[in-house]
Amino acid sequence: MTTAAAVSTTYLELSQEGGGAHKFYEVTVDGKVVTVRYGRIGAAGQIQTTTFPTAEKARAAAAKKVGEKVRKGYAPAVRGQRAPRAVTRRQVSSAPSTARAVAPVLWRLSTGSAAFGIHVDDEHCWVGNQAGDVYTLGHDGSVLARFSLPDGVKCLVADDFWIYAGCDDGKVYDLSSKLPFAAYDIAADVDIFWLDIHEGILNVSDRAGRLTVIDHEDEHQWARRSQGEHAWMVRADDRAVYHGHLTGVTAYAPDGSGELWHTATKGSVLFGWQEDDAVYAGTGHRVVQRLSKATGAIEATYHCDGAVYSCATSPGGRFVFAGDAASSVYCFDRDGTRLWKLGTGGGSALSMQYRDERLYLVTTDGSLVCVDASETAISAAQQGTVPVARDVKLAAALPTYAPATAVAAVATVDRAPSGAVVVECVQEGGRLRVHVVSEGYDASWNVQFPRAIRQPGARYVVDALHPAASGFYRVRGDIRRLL
């Protein structure tokens, strides 16, 4: 049995200003066993344990690991002295609607907590709330599944096939397969307000008005501090990252090489939306403004009767929708003419999305609301005729999925789905990378892969790999450990 005196622990931290690293590295030697724990300051971190032939070799290996980290800038520290992640809960008020009529709500799901995240695609609706719940629904309102995440959901974003939830614990979870995985881990000094992901590159806006960019390997790329604080908007495409904050919208080159333009908006930006050639900023001064992506010029202004909490458009920006602080939703034509204003029948819309003549809202009372936005339904609502909204009930046996830190194993590739791809985790320059083993792929490209399940030398089977424009592969579908 090892005595307490034989156990030694070295704890190091690396903390940089301006959105840089904020990490810890801890090495414990217990006889022949070396345990390494590492991660973001304030988080539990990941653990690796190695057993050596002798206690002397264990101590030598531990000293080597510590020396490598010190040369990279880590320094001895006292665990717990640096504060864990700061979390700002969005404080919003919601007054009764001043609209003369109520929107034609088809169905409504109460999630039990204020909801900020929404995404609607061809098959599903997604809603995430401050309790860490993400529900997946059909377009008819039927609840299909629930993801239970460790902290409040700030927002839901889509990047092609992949769906991500940004949470108050500083992690971004990939919800695209049956079990959610932590795909990104944001530095503890970044108080997350909003995020967007484009081609696997994560863009984070925060309380300080800073924009932080993280690549597909969860490694910090660059950061910029904009002219205003409280950055509730970030949107990205191939041309730029569009950052909305207290004083307006700033566009940056995707590689961080410089500012492309800055436009002062009418009021502080509280929400952002984008189409191919324009970004839309909802502001505290009761307007949505459409800005040219190329120049930043304000092309149109859409006037509401209260501070704008959210906005969205129909495809191509033909119609522009907005939700204000007084539980009302609006529709405008492209040029700014108000077509209608209706009450939500509940709280104010904190996020929204339009799809196939339906407007989906998540509200201050924690509801996901589906509104029939067809011309016929809106005309009838303006005359006082609306359908009876169906209250969606959660099934008692609703499947619930929590984040995974391990995966199921298969004995042979033959037992994996047809066409599955084999990848391998390898050590490269002190980092764990994942490369493709199967033929027909570029073996020099990295594979974006959950860090929590990476083990040196391990092989995994994935359903499919898709190439990203910047030269790496992204996993689609389930992941299994190959025995």
Query: Residue 439: what residue type?
Result: E
pLDDT at position 85, please?
Answer: 67
Does 21 score more than 80 pLDDT?
Answer: no
Per-residue pLDDT reduced to its tens digit, 112-159: 888 889 999 999 999 999 999 999 999 999 999 999 998 899 999 999
pLDDT at position 18, please?
Answer: 41
C-alpha separations of 476 from 88, 162, 216, 340 in Å: 32, 8, 14, 41
pLDDT at position 17, please?
Answer: 45
Burial tier of 51 (Cβ tally within 10 Å: 0-12, 13-18, 19+): exposed
pTM of this prediction?
Answer: 0.82
| Domain with residues 4-76, CATH architecture | Single Sheet (2.20)
Does 309 score more than 90 pLDDT?
Answer: yes
Picking from 37, 22, 32, the residue whose alpha carbon sits closest to that of residue 54 is 32
Q: Considering the chain, what percentage of its residues have pLDDT values greater than 90?
A: 65
Does 414 score more than 90 pLDDT?
Answer: no
Query: 360 vs 191, which has greater pLDDT?
Result: 360
Picking from 119, 188, 200, 107, the residue whose alpha carbon sits closest to that of residue 153 is 119
Does 3 score more than 70 pLDDT?
Answer: no
Average pLDDT rounded to a whole number, residues 165-173: 92
Residue 80 pLDDT class (50, 70, 90 cuts): low
Q: Is 105-400 a CATH 3.20.20.70 domain?
A: no
- Cα radius of gyration (the chain): 24
Per-residue pLDDT reduced to its tens digit, 282-300: 999 999 999 999 999 999 9
C-alpha separations of 173 from 127, 150, 361 in Å: 14, 10, 22
Where is 174: in which H helix or E strand?
A: strand 171-174
Query: What does the domain layout of the chain look like in residue ranges?
Result: 4-76, 105-400, 409-482
Q: Do domains 4-76 and 105-400 have the same CATH topology?
A: no
Give dist(CA 444, CA 415) in Å, integer: 27
C-alpha separations of 352 from 253, 285, 359 in Å: 27, 19, 7
CB contact at 8 A, 345 and 332: no
Strands 143-148 and 133-137: antiparallel
Give dist(CA 464, CA 473) in Å, integer: 10
